[in-house]
């Protein structure tokens, strides 16, 4: 992989352009699920059609980690299959949502349990896999999003603006590339993340 290149509002890591705001330090830390209640999960998520098929294939391993009234696989996805070049297969579908009037938007992802934990993540952990193994890519990546070849903070998303930003206030400021290290590694790999660190170190205003 070639070295990073700095381009103002974005910097290059391989073929990906990364939002330079992720180099900024802000007085935030990662959210706490018992406080945020999975605020980013209110509208479900769009996922690659191939990933949806994999979830269906693993359904019997996932069902024990969901409420009984959500065991019907036919109710897991919204059926609105669309072409989308931001997904590897070129096709995407959305997860279904269920009503939850205790939440600001009145809905939540079908996989979000009443304890505010993701059933897909719980199943992954129970199976001894990486905790994001069954989670849709864009779900695990949030509050970052990959649009075309640009990886950016998804702060124009309605859920983000409603408080589902995966952040909580903190006294000490921390660089966002540290706060969202796992998400950056998911998108860029370990080598790519090391290049983010190199860019931060090369820019005096962004040094941690």
With contact defined as beta carbons under 8 Å apart, do 130 and 186 qualify?
no
List, run by run, the mean pLDDT of 10-residue segments along the chain (208 residues): 56 92 87 72 92 98 98 97 94 96 88 94 97 94 90 75 67 91 96 94 69
For 54, the token pair is 């994999």
Q: What is the pLDDT of residue 133?
A: 97
| CA 149/CA 147 separation, integer angstroms | 6
| Strand bridging mode 91-94 / 46-48 | antiparallel
Mean per-residue pLDDT of the chain: 88
Q: What is the pLDDT of residue 166?
A: 63
For 23, the token pair is 């180099």
Q: What is the pLDDT of residue 34?
A: 74
Chain-centroid distance of CA 62 in Å reads 19
Q: What is the pLDDT of residue 13?
A: 92
197 SS3 class: helix
| Strand bridging mode 25-30 / 167-175 | antiparallel
């Amino acid at each position: 992989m070639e070295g990073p290149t700095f381009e103002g509002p974005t910097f290059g890591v391989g073929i990906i352009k990364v939002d330079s705001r992720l180099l900024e330090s802000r007085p935030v830390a990662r959210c706490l699920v018992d406080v945020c209640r999975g605020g980013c999960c209110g509208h479900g998520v769009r996922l690659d059609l191939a990933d949806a098929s994999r979830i269906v294939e693993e359904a019997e391993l996932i069902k024990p980690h969901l409420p009984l009234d959500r065991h019907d696989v036919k109710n897991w996805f919204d059926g609105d299959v669309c072409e989308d070049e931001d997904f590897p297969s070129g096709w995407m579908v959305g997860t279904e949502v269920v009503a939850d009037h205790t939440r600001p938007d009145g809905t939540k992802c079908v996989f979000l349990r009443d304890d505010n934990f993701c059933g897909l993540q719980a199943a992954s952990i129970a199976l001894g896999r990486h905790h994001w193994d069954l989670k849709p890519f864009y779900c695990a990546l949030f509050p970052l999003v990959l649009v075309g070849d640009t990886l950016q903070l998804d702060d124009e998303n309605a859920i983000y603006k409603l408080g589902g930003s995966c952040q909580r206030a903190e006294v000490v400021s921390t660089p966002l590339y540290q706060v969202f290290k796992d998400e950056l590694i998911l998108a860029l790999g370990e080598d790519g993340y090391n290049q983010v660190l190199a860019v931060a170190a090369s820019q005096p205003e962004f040094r941690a």
